[in-house]
């Protein structure tokens, strides 16, 4: 591992237990099924929105906190574990999932969901437009830039980006059937400067479909009926895992 400051809290897990889980799950060939298996072990873990360490004024520390999650660190850990066969590989994968070029700094952290396709394109693909079947909408955004010209995140450059989403009113049975277990779902934000307001994982179980996510409202990682949750949002961005 690189010579760096790190802070590790495994919560209810042990390193040996994670080693066994990662070794077992790495044998699952389908990426979506692997994500389902991995994300399920986080069920019930507490929600906390400030678990990472670093800001524009304080040096970034490499954090692994499995004791408490926000919606984004939840998918961070799941995606890193998807590509790992042991705990050491997990930490290495987390570097590239969380940071541009795997370089630890607050500025290099992937603060926005669509950073995953702009700086991590070998691992996920944006399939929103394909799934939208002509109903997807493209919004021009200047990420990190609020309506009044101030910033959401100090010390992080603004970036112009087109964000494609499927409006919730257009998410019908056909779109639902096109979604796959393991798809990463971003809840589109209509606010200037933001691409999404929340993220989770699409899970299909027979005829039922769920959003598995770290819920602020429920205070933990839960599964919620997908359509019931999404119908009260502006729409979704869908990133699909690729490769191993």
Q: What is the pLDDT of residues 103-116, one digit of tens each?
A: 999 999 999 999 99
Confidence of residue 50 (pLDDT cuts 50, 70, 90): confident
Select from 1.10.3670.10, 3.90.1200.10, 1.10.10.10, 1.10.10.60 the CATH code of 6-102.
1.10.3670.10
Average pLDDT, the chain: 94
Q: What is the DSSP string of 83-122?
A: T-SSHHHHHHHHHHHHBGGG--STTTB--STTHHHHH-TT
The 10s digit of each residue's pLDDT in 6-19 is: 999 999 999 999 99
Beta-carbon contacts of 67 under 8 Å, excluding residues fewer than 6 positions away, are: 9, 10, 11, 12, 45, 46
- Is domain 119-241 in CATH 2.30.260.10, yes or no? yes
Which tokens in the block code for residue 97?
Answer: 């999932």
pLDDT at 1 over 50: no
Quick check: 170 and 227 in contact, CB under 8 A?
Answer: no
Closest-CA residue to 52 (of 11, 100, 111, 3): 111
Q: Which is nearest to 95 in space by CA: 2, 21, 158?
A: 2
Q: Is the pLDDT of residue 121 over 50?
A: yes
Q: Sketch the domain layout of the chain as residue ranges.
A: 6-102, 119-241
The count of residues in the chain is: 244
Question: Quick check: 122 pLDDT over 80?
Answer: no
Q: What radius of gyration do the chain's Cα atoms show?
A: 17
Give 42's DSSP letter: T
Beta strand 68-69 with 46-47: parallel, antiparallel or unpaired? parallel
User: How far apart are alpha carbons 137 and 184 in whole angstroms?
Assistant: 18
Distance CA 63, CA 9 (A): 8
The percentage of the chain sitting over the pLDDT mark of 70, rounded to a whole number, equals: 96
Predicted pLDDT of residue 3: 56
Q: Report the range of poorest mean pLDDT among 15-29, 120-134, 147-161, 201-215.
A: 120-134
Strands 159-167 and 235-241: antiparallel
Could you tell me the pLDDT band of residue 243, with boundaries at 50, 70 and 90? low
User: What's the distance, Cα to Cα, between the start and end of the chain in Å?
Assistant: 21
Cβ atoms of residues 170 and 233 within 8 Å: no
Q: Which two tokens stand for residue 156?
A: 């992080």
CB 54 within 8 Å of CB 4:
no
């Amino acid at each position: 591992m690189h010579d760096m400051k790190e802070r590790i809290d495994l919560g209810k897990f042990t390193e040996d237990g994670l080693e066994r889980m990662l070794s077992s799950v790495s044998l699952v060939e389908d990426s979506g099924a692997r994500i389902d298996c991995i994300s399920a072990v986080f069920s019930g873990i507490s929600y906390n929105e400030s678990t990472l360490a670093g800001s524009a004024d304080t040096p970034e520390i490499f954090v692994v906190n499995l004791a408490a999650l926000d919606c984004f660190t939840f998918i961070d850990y799941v995606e890193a574990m998807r590509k790992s066969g042991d705990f050491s590989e997990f930490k290495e994968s987390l570097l590239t999932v969380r940071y541009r070029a795997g370089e630890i700094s607050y500025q290099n952290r992937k603060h926005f969901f669509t950073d995953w396709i702009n700086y991590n394109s070998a691992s996920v693909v944006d399939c929103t437009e394909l799934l939208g079947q002509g109903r997807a909408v493209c919004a021009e955004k200047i990420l990190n830039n609020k309506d009044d010209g101030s910033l959401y995140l100090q010390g992080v450059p603004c970036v112009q980006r087109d964000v494609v989403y499927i409006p919730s009113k257009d998410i019908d049975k056909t779109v639902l059937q096109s979604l796959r277990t393991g798809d990463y779902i971003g809840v589109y934000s209509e606010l200037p400067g933001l691409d999404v307001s929340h993220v989770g994982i699409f899970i299909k179980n027979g005829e039922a479909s769920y959003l598995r996510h770290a819920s602020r409202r429920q205070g933990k990682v839960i599964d919620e009926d997908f359509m019931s949750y999404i119908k009260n949002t502006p729409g979704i961005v869908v990133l699909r895992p690729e490769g191993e």
